Amino acid sequence: MPVEPLSPQHLEERLAELPGWSAEGGRLTRSYRLASHFAATAMTVHIAQVQEELNHHSDLTLGYDTVSLAVSTHSAGGAVTEKDIELARRVRDLAPGHGAH
């Protein structure tokens, strides 16, 4: 079943539910700054686990104390879809201060 790209209006509505996330270059993007390199590495591992569960993988970059993501759906021509929104929600729930870990 094909995945449909979100309309600009629908994307704007979805982004309102995801503070800190933005649409750049046709992808959802977000960076998280963590307390240490160890914390950033741990978050990267947790994100990778979520990506495997969803079978939806993003560009994921680990810096010293920063984790950055760029998310789009390849099967929708690299556009943002509900699959990307779900991944962003799950990542948000992993972030420090959000009650998950």
Check pLDDT > 60 for residue 1: no
Q: Which pTM was predicted?
A: 0.91
Q: Specify the pLDDT at position 58.
A: 94
pLDDT digits (tens, 9 = 90+) for 51-87: 999 999 999 999 999 999 999 999 999 999 999 999 9
CATH class of 8-94: alpha beta
Alpha-carbon gap, residue 93 to 43, rounded angstroms: 11
> Could you give the CA distance from residue 85 to residue 81 in angstroms, rounded to a whole number?
7
Cα-flanking dihedrals φ and ψ of residue 93, to 5°? -70, -20
Q: From the centroid of its chain, how far is CA 26? A: 13
Q: Note whether 87 and 51 are within 8 A (CB).
A: yes
